[in-house]
């Protein structure tokens, strides 16, 4: 990294300090997501870490198939793919609560969903105070509400997720062609890593894979939203709209760059390898100012068709068991490779 790695103390004191110090060195700015974009770890992080940890903390194993189905939809296969962990929980719990079939199962199994109120209030607090959704802001909110015991559990889940990352997702290498693309980009553009993953996990991954040397700044969830990351860097570097490009795999990535009037290069779910293989051609169009317009529009059309806009349980022919089993092979494969002793429902 061009700037030295931040310490935990520095992150708590001023997480945006490196973004504020950013200085333009090249003609262009490339913002890059990590999970599911640079590395094929989206399924692994969600299926092996986020979801089982939440079911463990909140005793939801009795509705495992329903919880996984809903959480996987929002985190992996919908237009919300890649959203912040707390937003994903908000979406998941809301959907579980509103489904009549799940309410019946909850009653039969004598299981209660966690109260979503504290989570909603925490999210509202971060918006009001323009804070990033992450453990530091959750700790700050908890300190202001020390008797709300549910917040301790929410923080505990989030911390447990972070502590599990090194044992699973950090071991998954980047997609083929990523490093050669980074070398190409670095010749012409400043590279900004934007993510909703905690800073330390991002820095650990990029350093462990030997690719942090191409990057100016790594911005994690503590530094605010992806759109905020791009906004600051764009303003500090005084880049024009068509000098900014975001590489990402989720609807949030597209939104983050478009609210900043920049351009987008998608790595669609399931087509990431192909996207990185074709990136050099797209990058040449970008630096020659021939990217905007028909070329980008065609990529966006393919990308938007790869993300679902409505969940399977809202379809007329929906069958829960069929829906759950559609992703069963992927879950089983991940567990066999990374956590063979882990708890997983096979139907």
Residue 216's pLDDT band, with cuts at 50, 70 and 90, is: very high
Half-sphere exposure (Cβ direction) of 292: Cα atoms closer than 13 Å: 13
Same domain, 36 and 46: no
Q: Across the beta sheet with 28-32, what order do the strands follow?
A: 217-219, 189-194, 28-32, 244-248, 263-266
Q: Are 246 and 284 in contact (CB under 8 A)?
A: no
Same domain, 214 and 286: yes
Q: What is the DSSP string of 120-140?
A: HHHHHHHHHTT--SSHHHHHH
**How confident is the model at residue 224, as a pLDDT?**
87
**How far apart, in whole angstroms, are the C-alpha atoms of residue 113 and residue 108?**
13
Question: Is 117 inside a domain boundary?
Answer: yes
Question: Is 189 inside a domain boundary?
Answer: yes
- Structural domain of 94: 42-169
Per-residue pLDDT averaged across 203-218, rounded?
93
Does the pLDDT of residue 169 top 80, yes or no? no
**How confident is the model at residue 90, as a pLDDT?**
98
**How far apart, in whole angstroms, are the C-alpha atoms of residue 84 and residue 161?**
13
Query: Any idea what the CATH number is for the domain that residue 250 is in?
Result: 3.40.50.1000
Question: Is 343 inside a domain boundary?
Answer: no
DSSP 278: H
Per-residue pLDDT averaged across 244-259, rounded?
95
Question: Is 208 inside a domain boundary?
Answer: yes
**How confident is the model at residue 132, as a pLDDT?**
85
Question: What does the pLDDT look like over 80-101, one tens digit per residue?
Answer: 998 899 999 999 999 999 999 9
| Helix pair angle (85-98, 64-72), 10° resolution | 130
Which neighbouring-strand residues pair with 174? 39
**How far apart, in whole angstroms, are the C-alpha atoms of residue 191 and residue 245?**
10
Question: What does the pLDDT look like over 290-347, one tens digit per residue?
Answer: 999 999 999 999 999 998 999 999 999 999 999 999 999 999 999 998 999 999 999 9
Q: What angle do CA 298, 37, 307 make, to 5 degrees?
A: 50
**How confident is the model at residue 310, as a pLDDT?**
95
Same domain, 178 and 163: no
State the pTM of this model. Answer: 0.80
What's the token pair of residue 148? 């709300």
Q: Which residues neighbour 146 within 8 Å (Cβ) at sequence distance 6 or greater?
A: none
Same domain, 200 and 290: yes
Same domain, 12 and 94: no
Question: Is 326 inside a domain boundary?
Answer: no
Q: What mean pLDDT is reported for the chain? A: 94
Question: What does the pLDDT look like over 36-82, one tens digit per residue?
Answer: 899 988 898 999 999 999 999 999 999 999 999 999 999 999 989 98
Same domain, 113 and 141: yes
Number of structural domains in the chain: 2
Of 169, 186, 202, the residue at which a domain comes to its end is 169
Question: Is 288 inside a domain boundary?
Answer: yes
Q: Are 68 and 43 in contact (CB under 8 A)?
A: no
Same domain, 219 and 280: yes
Task: State the sign of the Cα–Cα–Cα–Cα dihedral 313, 319, 321, 325.
Answer: negative
Same domain, 161 and 73: yes
Question: Is 49 inside a domain boundary?
Answer: yes
Of 137, 169, 201, the residue at which a domain comes to its end is 169
Query: Residue 77's Cα: distance from chain center in Å?
Result: 12
Least confident of 60-74, 126-140, 280-294: 126-140
**How confident is the model at residue 1, as a pLDDT?**
63
Does the pLDDT of residue 253 top 80, yes or no? yes
Of 119, 140, 169, the residue at which a domain comes to its end is 169
**How far apart, in whole angstroms, are the C-alpha atoms of residue 60 and residue 75?**
18
Question: Is 286 inside a domain boundary?
Answer: yes
Q: Are 169 and 161 in contact (CB under 8 A)?
A: no
Residue 210's pLDDT band, with cuts at 50, 70 and 90, is: very high
Residue 153's pLDDT band, with cuts at 50, 70 and 90, is: very high
Place of tokens 């908000």: 90
Same domain, 268 and 181: yes
DSSP 4: P
Does the pLDDT of residue 12 top 90, yes or no? no
Does the pLDDT of residue 172 top 90, yes or no? no
**How far apart, in whole angstroms, are the C-alpha atoms of residue 243 and residue 30?**
8
Does the pLDDT of residue 219 top 70, yes or no? yes
Residue 141's alpha-carbon distances to 56, 128, 187, 195, in angstroms, are: 24, 12, 42, 22
């Amino acid at each position: 990294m061009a700037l030295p790695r931040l310490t935990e103390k520095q992150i708590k004191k001023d997480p945006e300090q490196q973004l504020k110090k950013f200085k333009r060195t090249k003609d262009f700015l490339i913002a890059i997501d990590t999970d599911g974009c640079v590395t094929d770890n989206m399924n692994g992080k969600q299926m092996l870490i986020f979801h089982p940890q939440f079911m463990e903390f909140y005793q939801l194993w009795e509705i495992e198939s329903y919880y996984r189905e809903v959480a996987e939809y929002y985190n992996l296969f919908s237009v919300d793919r890649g959203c912040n962990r707390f937003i994903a929980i908000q979406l998941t719990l809301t959907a579980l609560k509103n489904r009549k079939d799940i309410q019946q199962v909850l009653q039969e199994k004598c299981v209660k969903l966690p109260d979503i109120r504290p989570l909603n209030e925490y999210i509202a607090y971060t918006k009001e105070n323009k804070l990033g959704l992450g453990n530091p802001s959750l700790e700050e909110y908890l300190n202001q509400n020390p008797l709300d015991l549910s917040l301790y559990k929410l923080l505990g889940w989030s911390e447990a997720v972070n502590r599990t990352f090194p044992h699973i997702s950090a071991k998954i290498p980047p997609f083929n062609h990523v490093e050669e693309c980074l070398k190409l980009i670095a010749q012409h553009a400043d590279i900004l890593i934007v993510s909703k993953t905690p800073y330390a996990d991002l820095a650990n991954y990029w350093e462990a894979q030997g690719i942090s040397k191409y990057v100016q700044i790594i911005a994690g969830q503590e530094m605010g939203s992806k759109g905020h990351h791009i906004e600051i860097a764009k303003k500090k570097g005084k880049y024009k709209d068509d000098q900014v490009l975001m590489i990402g795999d989720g609807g949030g990535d597209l939104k983050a760059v478009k609210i900043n009037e920049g351009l987008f290069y998608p790595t669609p779910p399931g087509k990431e390898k192909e996207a990185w293989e074709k990136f050099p051609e797209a990058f040449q169009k970008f630096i020659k100012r021939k990217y905007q317009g028909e070329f980008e529009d065609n990529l966006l059309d393919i990308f938007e068709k790869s993300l679902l806009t409505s969940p399977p349980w809202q379809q007329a022919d929906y069958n829960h068991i069929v829906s759950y089993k559609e992703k069963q092979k992927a879950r089983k494969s991940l567990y066999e490779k990374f956590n063979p002793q882990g708890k997983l429902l096979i139907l």
